[in-house]
């Protein structure tokens, strides 16, 4: 049986070697033996498992949820209904998030239109009080957006 080191799996799957080791610690990859030099010896099947994990995480599964279902599956169980339920929950979460983002977009459009009008009426060195105008009228939709430049 061919074995792979974490770095080899990382190169094949587009994650870091630290991520591969983290997945093992969190139960997303089964614990593997170590070679005499201390390197972990993963089976070739770990490549496919890492790809499955990445795609499940991208689909909204949490590490905890994924760890539970993989542990059950590895023990011979059939967590298919649980996986389906998690997928349905993530879809509902996503649909709610889309609704919030659409409301936020519409509020921001209206706010920018107001700000553009305020700025258009300004003299050369006058302030429009754009940020202060946020205290006037209804609050915009509250969707939590990640800070600019950050990815999840």
The rounded mean pLDDT for the chain is 90
* Residues in the chain, total: 152
Q: Token pair for residue 100? A: 């919030």
Euclidean distance between CA atoms 103 and 121, whole angstroms:
28
pLDDT tens profile 22-47: 999 999 998 888 888 888 899 999 99
pTM for the structure as a whole: 0.73
Q: What phi and psi, each to the nearest 5 degrees, are found at residue 42?
A: -90, 145
């Amino acid at each position: 049986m061919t074995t792979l080191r974490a770095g080899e799996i990382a190169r094949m799957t587009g994650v870091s070697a630290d991520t591969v080791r983290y997945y093992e610690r969190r139960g997303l990859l089964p614990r593997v033996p170590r070679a005499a030099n201390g390197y972990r010896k993963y089976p070739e099947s770990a490549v496919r498992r890492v790809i499955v994990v990445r795609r499940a995480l991208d689909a909204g599964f949490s590490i905890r949820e994924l760890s539970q279902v993989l542990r059950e599956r590895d023990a011979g169980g059939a967590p298919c209904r649980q996986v389906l339920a998690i997928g349905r929950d993530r879809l509902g979460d996503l649909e709610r998030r889309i609704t919030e983002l659409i409301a936020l977009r519409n509020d921001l459009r209206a706010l920018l239109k107001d700000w553009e009008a305020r700025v258009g009426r300004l003299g050369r060195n006058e302030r429009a009080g754009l940020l202060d105008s946020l205290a006037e009228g209804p609050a915009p939709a509250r969707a939590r957006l990640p800070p600019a430049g950050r990815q999840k």
